[in-house]
Structure 1
Amino acid sequence: MIATQDRLRPGPAAIIALLLAAALLSAATRLSELLPVHDWWQVLVAPDLNSYAQVLVHDSVLPRFVIALVAGGALGLSGTIFQQVLRTPLADPSTLGVSAGAYLALAAAGLWAPALAVSARELIALAGGLTAFGLVFLIAWPHRLSPISLILAGLVVTLVCGAIAAAISLSYSLGMNGLFVWTSGSLTQNDWSAVSRLAPYAGLGCLGAALLARPLGVLSLSDEGARSLGLSLASVRLLSVLLAVMLAAFTVSAVGVIGFVGFAAPFIARASGARRLPQRMIAGIAIGAILLLAADEALQQAARFMREIPAGAATGLLGAPLIAIFLGRLPVVEAPVLPTAERRSRRPMLYLAITAIVLLALVWISLSLGPSLDGWSFASPAQMQSLLIWRLPRLAAAAAAGVLFALSGTVIQRMTGNPMASPEIIGVSTGAALGILLLVLLAPAFTPLTQLGAAAAGAVVSLAAVLLTGRRSRYNPDHVLLFGIAINTAFAALIAVLLGTGLPKVFGVMQWMAGSTYSTTPLQAMIAVAMAVVFLAIVPFFSRWLDLLPLGASSSRGLGLNISVSRAVLLLLSAVSAAVATLLIGPLSFVGLMAPHIARTLGFQRALSHMIAAAIAGAALTTLADFIGRVSLFPNQLPVGIVTTLIGGPYFLWLMRKQG
């Protein structure tokens, strides 16, 4: 039967075979440009150290070829094991946060314990990967390890790990370039050391997988069926997870973060007809190796015309279409929603006043309090006049961004009926960032207005894609989030590829993407505040729509609402709001998630009061983040986007845990 399936489904296998042939042809072409064919065997076994070409091939070209095969195979096997143990086709080291945890541990060790990072880098990466996966598992457990809970928790853990690594890097004045190197996943080699480190572990991983193949295959049965066969489920799952994390972490320690190879390889293996677990393991190893080799060869050929892009950044592009394909196969089920206030606030003005007072107090503290050479102190009235020139513009920009992100998040949550949606999670902010980056790279000159237009266009495209694809599932909350994650993944990978070009124009963009308000001018601050005021003045006109849309399409139509028009207008409103906020503090933020939820827990459930309270809460969050970023590493600073991610990521995970 399996052989029949293989014959009936040659397409994916044929594509992989073509990729392998193309990769081998590319490698042979590049090698022949460096050495004549009759010298190939000599350079492999006994290179002439006086020949630059032979040394280059022996110590760089060949190790790179081999490490691509070894790393790709290890990731393919790791993804296959994860998907078998967790019983979801969406699992892989990058979607579960394992790779991010491993690189964060390596980054921290490289700064604080460099000797240990050299001598025990594999163990450090393993510890980081296990910690990250443990956190994802803990958050997803109350949700019965559903695919959406695993992916959401893994995404947020990855973002938080990235923010922590950026904070560590900035605290040691290494800048964002060092962080990008850690996360880019480069296969460039200078010798055989990485191969000699990774290959033995990959071999041990294959041996361990072979020993676990039979008990792992039994896991495809129900838990009761597996126990009836005398299988210890906990032991098998624990050993299998340890093996999968080990393979992924050791790969990160050797070549950095390589995204979605562990996701794509098992997918293609199943599409090719592999059904039994041993077949899927072998196919996953082979396909993972071929995918990474083919991707790296394509990048090396492209490097003839442009600066070389790291392989890890490019393979991230595999994630979006595969998530979308799997999403079409998931059943449409109603997901539990976050707990909200059991009743409306009986004293809305009191709660609004308290929230506003908290915001004003944070503004005063942020403007007047700060560290100095003599310690912490509040500024005197005379000192305030000179400090306001520096502190007020950045504070105003941060607060305005908080208002705009909060309004965008509130509109998106009410429009989709999903209290865990936000412009940061479903790709709206990333789309705005991609629009700005493309403008910077393609336009010889641009104005603030054209920047806003580019950001708004990217945000509109992202949100429109999420809403259009969500129609199939009737805007099921889980599916909307997963589509958003797919778009977020694709745009983030494109951004990484563009940043990897190394063009001088992108370096300023890298700092902006971290969310820095350091260089905000008074004019920019005034424009930001004006935009926030304009949006606050506009949103009351759409409050009725936002009250009706969460009731569902049929109920909304019955009450006289034109669904298509209302969604189109609200889409534009939320996208432009998120675009302006992204221009101010970058795409890294969870304010669009946190502020609406804070307002909802205070009892504001009607749309108008919900948006106003969320706007005040959003301004308070970004004001606090700007203050923390300014004083925490004095005299250095942390960007607002990184601080809000460090606050919002744990907050999001807590919400997921609470929802479960």
Structure 2
Amino acid sequence: MNGKSSANTASIGMTWRLIGIFGGGIAALFVLFIVSLGFGEANIPAATVVEGLLHRRDVMEHNLLWGIRMPRTVIGILAGAALAAAGALLQTITKNPLAASDTLGINAGAYFMVVLGMVAFPALQQQFPFLLAVVGGLLAALVAYLLGGGRASTPVRLALSGMIVSMVLGAFTSALHIFNQTKTQNLFLWGAGSLIQLDWDGVVFAWPFVLALLVAAIFLGRQFDMLELDESTARSLGQRVGLARAVGLGMSVLLAAIVVSVVGPIGFVGLVAPHLVRLSGIRKHRLLIPASALWGALLITAADTLARMVRSNVGEMPVGAVMAIIGAPWLIWLVLTKVKNISGSGEGQSSMSIGGAAAKRVRFVPLALFMAVLLLVTIIVSMSFGGTRIPVSELLAGITGGGEQKYSVLMNIRLPRTLVAAAAGIALAVSGVLIQSAVRNPLADASIIGVTSGAGFCAMIAMVIWPGLTIVAVPFAAIAGGIIAAAFVFFLAWRKALNPSVLILLGIAISAIGSAGIQVMIVKASLWSNSSYIWLTGSTYGRSWNQLYTLLLFLLVLLPLAYYLGRKFDLLAFGDESSTGFGLEVRGTRLFAMILGVLLAAGAVACVGTIGFLGLMAPHAVRMMIGHHTRRSIVLSGLLGGLLLVLADTVGRTVMAPTEIPSGLFITLIGAPYFLFLMYRSLARRG
């Protein structure tokens, strides 16, 4: 009897949960639907909205309702449903609670291909607006999935792989924007995620695809249920696991690509909505997929309504930015409350092996001397290149004061610029060494833990609010933003003993908030044609002695401290228990390494903008030569980072003179393929 009673109680409980999920969701969506139709530049009373829906007349309010507001609200419902269903499928396919179209790079891949199509294949893009988005999203998802380890991937590794793929594609997209401003300017608002519709064309295009894919996913629900089981068990039950995964991945990519091709990349919907539904106890995909679609539609409608209700002096926020502000706290909560399920046992404890085990050991002293001399020679040669060539002999005479006056003037411009590039490269590379040691993960740097996006967001605020004080305000704002972002990550992760996996995932969430803020500033303050956008990609253009003095202050104070504590940082690579056994205060040491790395990165960002991959690339290359040794890595990585950024500055101001390629963009175009190769090689070794 007790068994029957328990079963009845459980059945009644599930019934009420289903009523809450579906009934409550539909009711809330209906209310938001009416509210969404009423808010905008001109508010429409609810009674007028209902009247316009039931009895349309040829009056301004009804025409506005049906011509502008209704298409926007309907496309938001379709987009939310598609992204949420895609997220639910991806989480099942990868068995990863962090999987979604944005964390797997699908949105970034689709966005890149649409921008590329606008520049290189305008006819194809015009005729088949969603074909290129599908190709880009599918390729990005496959790359992220394979680099994350495929079926053997962990949540943290897959999230990092997706973020790296997104960073790579973001860099290429930025390059297209910079060099094709006229053609791509209209894509900036769309790229931030916008539901604005001027007619019904977007809805007419999207709804048949979305509806058909949702129905197909629900119909195949039992096959997707089997993927929750162990693979051998699923196969023994006659399930074709590989085919089910491929079909699910294809459906997910198609759903996300359709959305991106119409409203741009919108993140976090596919992460938040399926988790909300799963928290209610729903696991069967025939219920999970429609419930996720319902709550995804509700989320985007709520975000879009909120964006219109809360208007600032720069106008309405893009819905993609609003969803990032809503979704990032959800990711933070997920990490802090579900960390045991996310991190796994020992996650990240020995991950320094990626690119770290040296096939050849190179003697440290000769290598350091060689790299120092090479950096010095590169600096001298670099100053002779540019729009106006200066013979090296005249250059050296100008340095000593014996050259012609015109060369002396050029020296006052090129010398500080080149030295700033060298100093910033040193700071970013050493920052990468320290942060990777602290979190025991070679995929980490200032970009991963939120420092870069935080610094960029605060710098953009300074550029918008105090445009006349840009030279003075931007460095201080960038330093403050980087420190605030890192402090927030540390504060949240402190109760988890600064667990490396927790730090990285929290950094991803904070980076999303910072990036959303940057998108809002670019779109609403019209900064895409401004030097501000170039600054965001990382530029040494126009740098003077002031920036060099700032960087030298950071380097002279922080580098000796980092070198002195290098031996303690070495012990972090052994894991928490082993390090504690050696007498190391693990949490304090990790925190100190992170603080030094964050300050170095913030100082560099303040002076040269957001340059990615340098803090990832230089430490990897050094570990391949000498293995894991923090003090030696600090010296060699610093020299290599300075050398790489000086070379990037030289090539950037030479190959397309007088047009300049931003140094950060050039570093990314070099570093991204290199880093993807490292991840691929790591996967091959594990295989």
TM-score of the pair, normalised by structure 2: 0.86
Question: 183-192 or 531-540, which moves further after superposition?
Answer: 531-540
Q: Are 2:32 and 1:20 equivalent residues in the alignment?
A: no
* Match of residue 300, structure 1, among 272, 289, 308: 308
Q: Distance in 2 between matches of 1:504 and 1:117?
A: 26
* Match of residue 130, structure 1, among 133, 138, 149: 138
CA contact (8 A) 1:142 1:657 kept: no
CA contact (8 A) 1:218 1:226 kept: yes
Spell out, residue by residue over 1:529-554, the C-alpha distance to the aligned partner (whole angstroms, 9 max, x if none). 45434444443333343344445566
Residue 668 (structure 2) aligns with: 645
CA contact (8 A) 1:408 1:574 kept: yes
Spell out, residue by residue over 1:407-433, the C-alpha distance to the aligned partner (whole angstroms, 9 max, x if none). 222222223333332111111222222
Alignment of 1:236-635 (within 5 A): 236-303=244-311, 307-327=315-335, 328-329=337-338, 330=341, 331-334=343-346, 335=348, 336-339=350-353, 340-341=356-357, 347-370=363-386, 381=394, 385=408, 387-440=410-463, 451-502=474-525, 509-529=532-552, 531-551=554-574, 566-567=589-590, 569-603=592-626, 605-635=628-658
Change (3 A) 1:143 1:238: closer
Change (3 A) 1:217 1:448: same
Q: Distance in 2 between matches of 1:581 and 1:323?
A: 29
Residue 166 (structure 1) aligns with: 174
Change (3 A) 1:235 1:564: closer
What amino acid is the match of 1:337? S
Q: Distance in 2 between matches of 1:562 and 1:39?
A: 63
Q: Are 2:70 and 1:57 equivalent residues in the alignment?
A: no
Q: Distance in 2 between matches of 1:274 and 1:178?
A: 42
Spell out, residue by residue over 1:182-231, the C-alpha distance to the aligned partner (whole angstroms, 9 max, x if none). 42111111100000001111112112213322211111112122222222
Q: Distance in 2 between matches of 1:209 and 1:200?
A: 14
Q: Distance in 1 between matches of 2:305 and 2:94?
A: 33
* Match of residue 192, structure 1, among 183, 200, 207: 200
Q: 1:144 deviation in Å?
A: 1.2
CA contact (8 A) 1:108 1:168 kept: yes
Q: Distance in 2 between matches of 1:463 and 1:451?
A: 18
What amino acid is the match of 1:255? V
Q: 1:595 deviation in Å?
A: 1.7
Residue 188 (structure 2) aligns with: 180
Q: Distance in 2 between matches of 1:39 and 1:524?
A: 57
Q: 1:3 deviation in Å?
A: 4.9
Q: 1:310 deviation in Å?
A: 0.9
Give unmatched runs, 5+ long, in structure 2.
1-9, 395-403
Q: Are 2:156 and 1:140 equivalent residues in the alignment?
A: no
Give unmatched runs, 5+ long, in structure 1.
none
Change (3 A) 1:191 1:502: same
Change (3 A) 1:11 1:437: farther
Spell out, residue by residue over 1:313-346, the C-alpha distance to the aligned partner (whole angstroms, 9 max, x if none). 2112233223233333225422342332459956
Spell out, residue by residue over 1:594-651, the C-alpha distance to the aligned partner (whole angstroms, 9 max, x if none). 2222222221643322211111011112112223332344442222222222223333
Q: Distance in 2 between matches of 1:367 and 1:188?
A: 48
CA contact (8 A) 2:118 2:183 kept: no
Q: Distance in 2 between matches of 1:647 and 1:521?
A: 26
CA contact (8 A) 1:171 1:636 kept: no
CA contact (8 A) 1:629 1:643 kept: yes
Change (3 A) 1:582 1:3: farther
Change (3 A) 1:558 1:8: same
TM-score of the pair, normalised by structure 1: 0.89
Change (3 A) 1:436 1:158: same
Q: 1:151 deviation in Å?
A: 1.1
**Identical-pair percentage:** 31
Change (3 A) 1:2 1:313: farther
Change (3 A) 1:279 1:351: same
Residue 7 (structure 2) aligns with: none
What amino acid is the match of 1:351? L
CA contact (8 A) 2:390 2:407 kept: no
Q: Distance in 2 between matches of 1:44 and 1:125?
A: 37
What amino acid is the match of 2:345? V
Residue 235 (structure 2) aligns with: 227
CA contact (8 A) 2:189 2:523 kept: no
Q: Are 2:27 and 1:4 equivalent residues in the alignment?
A: no
Question: 416-425 or 556-565, which moves further after superposition?
Answer: 556-565
CA contact (8 A) 1:352 1:613 kept: yes
Q: Distance in 2 between matches of 1:396 and 1:176?
A: 34
Q: Are 2:14 and 1:30 equivalent residues in the alignment?
A: no
* Match of residue 111, structure 2, among 103, 106, 123: 103
Q: Distance in 1 between matches of 2:592 and 2:93?
A: 44
Question: 285-294 or 565-574, which moves further after superposition?
Answer: 565-574
Q: Distance in 1 between matches of 2:408 and 2:524?
A: 43
Q: Distance in 2 between matches of 1:297 and 1:559?
A: 56
Aligned residues: 655
Q: 1:437 deviation in Å?
A: 3.7
What amino acid is the match of 1:355? M
Change (3 A) 1:207 1:16: closer
CA contact (8 A) 2:37 2:73 kept: no
CA contact (8 A) 2:539 2:662 kept: yes
Residue 114 (structure 1) aligns with: 122
Question: 441-450 or 539-548, which moves further after superposition?
Answer: 441-450
Question: 238-247 or 345-354, which moves further after superposition?
Answer: 345-354
Q: Distance in 1 between matches of 2:424 and 2:184?
A: 22
Change (3 A) 1:273 1:567: closer
What amino acid is the match of 2:434? V
CA contact (8 A) 2:385 2:654 kept: no
Q: 1:470 deviation in Å?
A: 3.9
What amino acid is the match of 1:616? L
Secondary structure, aligned partner of 2:39: helix
What amino acid is the match of 1:466? V
Alignment of 1:63-82 (within 5 A): 63-82=71-90
CA contact (8 A) 1:23 1:293 kept: yes
Q: 1:380 deviation in Å?
A: 7.1
Q: Distance in 2 between matches of 1:536 and 1:647?
A: 26
Change (3 A) 1:618 1:304: closer
Q: Distance in 1 between matches of 2:359 and 2:630?
A: 14
Q: Distance in 2 between matches of 1:444 and 1:625?
A: 28
